[in-house]
Amino acid sequence: MSGADEVTENQDATASSWFGVRVHRRQFLAPDIVSLELESASGEPLPGWSAGAHVEVGFSNTISRCYSLCGDPDGGGFYRLVIHLELGGVASQLLATSMEEGTRLRIRVSKNDFVLDESAPHSLLIGGGMGVTPLIAMAYRLRRLGRSFVLHFSVRTRARAILVDEFALAFGERFELHSDDGSAGPPIDVAALVEKLPENTAVYFCGPEAFMDMVRQRATQAGVKPERLHAEAFSIRSPRP
Ligand SMILES: Cc1cc2nc3c(=O)[nH]c(=O)nc-3n(C[C@H](O)[C@H](O)[C@H](O)COP(=O)(O)OP(=O)(O)OC[C@H]3O[C@@H](n4cnc5c(N)ncnc54)[C@H](O)[C@@H]3O)c2cc1C
């Protein structure tokens, strides 16, 4: 294991200062899901970040929203955000209409509240819909560290199964796709996933509220200790203007 790959304490104890970025690449993964690759506007390297972290994007002086960093934390170069454009959403509207390549934005890396335990003997990552975004960074990090993990991605239909070619290539058998309608893999059975987990497995999950309630309930029923359960909710967002 190289120095850069050593298991480290999370260093995102505080949020970074605001800095400028530019949209390097904008790609629609579905009509209402956009991927943004952001590059430094100054030419300085982008601040480092740890798996599970998110950035706050300032759309104006009064509007900001949080987005998970969705890529390889050790990959350098760009920050990737994958964003669901919500009908009637303020930031979603701006993202859909005015974030073309070259557009400048102000962002900061927030304090990471969804910290990866890099020493866990095994990690189970369960993402529902857009909630997969922070788990992707965790999977890349665990792969780099040579840790045991499985990433489960649950979607309603095949059309919502974004970036799956990338995940299959990057994580191979450690990536499993599930869909509610069976069009892209069998529906997720969380009770089966949490049954007989190796001791001290860390379980990470993120997704719609009801999905997260279900995962927490099944894991608790299976005897997973509360301190091994780690969740992030997207619905706790920056105050609306
Ligand atoms: C840590 C964190 C990480 C996140 N990561 C991601 C991510 O990776 N990808 C992602 O897509 N999102 C992510 N989010 C969610 C994101 O920050 C935004 O909340 C989301 O994009 C919606 O923002 P918006 O401005 O478009 O919608 P908003 O304007 O905030 O509205 C959200 C929804 O609520 C409805 N609404 C708002 N106000 C009312 C009202 N008064 N009455 C009825 N309905 C109302 C809107 O119509 C819309 O559908 C994350 C959130 C957090 C906290």
Is the shortest distance between the CB of 67 and ligand 1 below 6 Å?
yes
Judged against a pLDDT cut of 70, whether residue 153 lies above it is answered with yes
Are 140 and 181 within one domain?
yes
Q: Among 34, 55, 60, 68, which is best to mutate for testing ligand 1, by the most ligand atoms less than 8 A from CB?
A: 68
Q: Whose alpha carbon is nearest atom 24 of ligand 1?
A: 89
Q: Would you state the pLDDT for residue 16?
A: 80
Total count of domains within the chain: 2
Q: Are 85 and 33 in contact (CB under 8 A)?
A: yes
Residue 218: CATH number of its domain: 3.40.50.80
Are 89 and 130 within one domain?
no
Tokens of 184: 């892209």
Q: Would you state the pLDDT for residue 86?
A: 94
Structural domain of 10: 3-109
Are 177 and 200 within one domain?
yes
Q: Among 69, 86, 107, which is best to mutate for testing ligand 1, by the most ligand atoms less than 8 A from CB?
A: 86
Q: Among 66, 109, 232, which is best to mutate for testing ligand 1, by the most ligand atoms less than 8 A from CB?
A: 66
Which of 222, 208, 204 is CA-nearest to residue 180? 208
Tokens of 68: 């998970």
Residue 31: CATH number of its domain: 2.40.30.10
- Could you say which of 109, 142, 170 is where a domain stops? 109
- Could you say which of 88, 109, 130 is where a domain stops? 109
Are 226 and 143 within one domain?
yes
Is the shortest distance between the CB of 89 and ligand 1 below 6 Å?
yes
Query: Over the stretch 4-29, which tens digit does the pLDDT of each residue have?
Result: 344 333 445 567 899 999 999 999 99
Is the shortest distance between the CB of 4 and ligand 1 below 6 Å?
no
Is the shortest distance between the CB of 88 and ligand 1 below 6 Å?
yes
Who's near 53: CB < 8 A, 6+ residues apart? 12, 68, 69, 73, 109, 110, 112, 114, 134, 137
Show the CA angle centred on residue 170, arms to residues 166 and 171, nearest 5°.
115
For ligand 1, the distance from its centroid to the CA atom of residue 201, given in whole angstroms, is: 31
Kind of pairing between the strands at 202-206 and 122-128: parallel
Who's near 192: CB < 8 A, 6+ residues apart? none
Look over the chain and give the mean of its residue pLDDT values, rounded to a whole number.
91
Are 79 and 176 within one domain?
no
Strand partners, 152: 126, 176
Q: Whose alpha carbon is nearest atom 50 of ligand 1?
A: 234
Q: Would you state the pLDDT for residue 20?
A: 96
Is the shortest distance between the CB of 10 and ligand 1 below 6 Å?
no
Query: Over the stretch 155-214, which tens digit does the pLDDT of each residue have?
Result: 999 999 999 999 999 999 999 999 999 999 999 999 999 998 999 999 999 999 999 999
Q: Does residue 90 sit in helix, strand or coil?
A: helix
**pTM, to two decimals:** 0.92
Arithmetic mean of pLDDT, 112-121: 96
What's the residue count for the chain?
Answer: 241
Are 103 and 148 within one domain?
no
Are 100 and 165 within one domain?
no
Is the shortest distance between the CB of 96 and ligand 1 below 6 Å?
no
Query: Over the stretch 82-107, which tens digit does the pLDDT of each residue have?
Result: 999 999 999 999 988 888 999 999 99
